[in-house]
């Protein structure tokens, strides 16, 4: 019977032309490598049973020989025949994974994780700013305190100096001026203005007096001595310096201050010396 090429499959026509045999009912040659008269996917229908499968339309002379996959190679496809085995393998894998995870989280296998407590966040710059501000405040307070202390000291020094420049003691007492003691001493030759030692004892004569002194006053570096004479009184002034001599205090009229009678009291009042006599009070200006 003549072969109708128009109704014969392409692979059958190719097989007949290349191999010279007739196709079976499926259009493929019978072979033990085919199942049910159909080739495996990707196999060449003309390949022998021992050959590696070849894609259809690929020339082995150009691409090289193919080989079959050995056991353990390639992907395993799950079918109804091996579905139960695949499920068992999956359960076993999950159990092993669960046991490994449990071991890692227990005992010495527990992972070491650094602990960073979420405490108060310390702002270093803030503390530095506070420290600087505190230091500035302390320095300012120290400066103010020192300034106030210096002012008080200067004021005290001024008052002390002023008091030192204006002093008055009785005729039996002594005063200190620039670290030196001065007083009135009754000697064999009469009353004198003398330098005294640190104990108040006579040291040296400075001025010989003609009468009996009532008191000793110091005004702006000059010693003022009111004294009683025989029936009269006067006032003597002396500036301690080399070659200095005592002189009488003169009034506003240019005459020596004095009068009749006796002095009972003499008091330094600012720049005035107020003298009380048995004839009345007399105010003597020392400026």
State residue 67's pLDDT score. Answer: 63
For 57-93, write each residue's pLDDT tens digit. Answer: 666 666 655 566 666 666 667 777 777 887 887 787 7
Per-residue confidence band for 129, with pLDDT thresholds at 50, 70 and 90: confident
* CA–CA gap between residue 66 and residue 139 (Å, rounded): 94
User: Range with the lowest mean pLDDT among 30-44, 93-107, 210-224?
Assistant: 30-44
- Please state the separation of Cα 201 from the chain's center in Å: 63
Tokens matching residue 182: 């001065």
State residue 112's pLDDT score. Answer: 66
Tokens matching residue 263: 């002095």
- State percent of the chain over pLDDT 90: 42
More confident call, 77 vs 196: 196
State residue 75's pLDDT score. Answer: 67
The residues near 285 (Cβ < 8 Å, ≥ 6 apart) are: 251, 252, 271, 272
State residue 123's pLDDT score. Answer: 74
* CA–CA gap between residue 226 and residue 264 (Å, rounded): 10
User: Range with the lowest mean pLDDT among 24-28, 46-50, 201-205, 261-265?
Assistant: 24-28
Strands (E), 54-189: 166-170, 174-177, 180-187
For 137-165, write each residue's pLDDT tens digit. Answer: 999 999 988 888 877 665 555 445 445 78
| Residue 16 confidence (pLDDT) above 80 | no
* CA–CA gap between residue 224 and residue 218 (Å, rounded): 6
State residue 110's pLDDT score. Answer: 63
Per-residue confidence band for 8, with pLDDT thresholds at 50, 70 and 90: very low
More confident call, 174 vs 122: 174
Pairing assessment for the beta strands 212-213 and 222-228 based on DSSP bridges: antiparallel
Per-residue confidence band for 94, with pLDDT thresholds at 50, 70 and 90: confident
**Where do the domains of the chain lie, and which CATH numbers do they carry?**
168-285 (2.130.10.10)
Q: What number of H helices and E strands is found in the chain?
A: 4, 14
- State percent of the chain over pLDDT 70: 60
Per-residue confidence band for 15, with pLDDT thresholds at 50, 70 and 90: very low
* CA–CA gap between residue 257 and residue 263 (Å, rounded): 13
State residue 252's pLDDT score. Answer: 87
Per-residue confidence band for 19, with pLDDT thresholds at 50, 70 and 90: very low
Mean pLDDT of 30-59: 52
Q: Helix-strand-coil percent breakdown of the chain, rounded to 5?
A: 30, 30, 45
Instruction: Write down the mean pLDDT value for the chain.
Output: 76
For 217-265, write each residue's pLDDT tens digit. Answer: 999 999 999 999 999 999 999 998 888 899 999 988 889 999 999 999 9
State residue 194's pLDDT score. Answer: 96
């Amino acid at each position: 019977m003549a072969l109708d090429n128009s109704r014969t499959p392409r692979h059958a026509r190719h097989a007949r032309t290349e191999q010279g045999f007739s196709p079976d009912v499926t259009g493929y040659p019978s072979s033990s490598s085919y199942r049910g008269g159909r080739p495996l996917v990707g196999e060449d229908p003309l390949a022998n049973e021992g050959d590696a499968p070849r894609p259809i339309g690929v020339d082995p002379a150009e691409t090289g020989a193919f080989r079959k996959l050995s056991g353990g190679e390639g992907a395993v496809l799950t079918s109804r025949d091996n579905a139960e085995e695949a499920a068992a393998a999956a359960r076993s894998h999950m159990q092993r994974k669960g046991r490994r995870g449990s071991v890692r989280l227990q005992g010495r296998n527990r992972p070491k994780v650094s602990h960073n407590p979420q405490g108060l966040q310390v702002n270093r710059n803030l503390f530095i700013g506070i420290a600087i501000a505190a230091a500035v405040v302390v320095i300012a307070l120290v400066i103010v305190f020192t300034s106030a202390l210096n002012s008080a000291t200067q004021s005290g020094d001024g008052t002390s100096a002023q008091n030192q420049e204006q002093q008055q003691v009785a005729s039996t007492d002594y005063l200190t001026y620039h670290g030196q003691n001065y007083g009135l001493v009754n000697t064999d030759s009469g009353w004198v203005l003398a330098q005294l030692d640190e104990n108040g004892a006579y040291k040296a004569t400075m001025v010989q007096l003609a009468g009996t002194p009532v008191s000793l006053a110091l005004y702006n570096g000059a010693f003022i001595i009111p004294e009683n004479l025989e029936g009269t009184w006067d006032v003597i002034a002396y500036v301690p310096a080399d070659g200095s001599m005592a002189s009488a205090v003169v009034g506003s009229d240019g005459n020596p201050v004095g009068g009749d009678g006796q002095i009972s009291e003499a008091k330094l009042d600012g720049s005035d010396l107020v003298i009380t006599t048995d004839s009345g009070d007399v105010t003597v200006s020392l400026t």
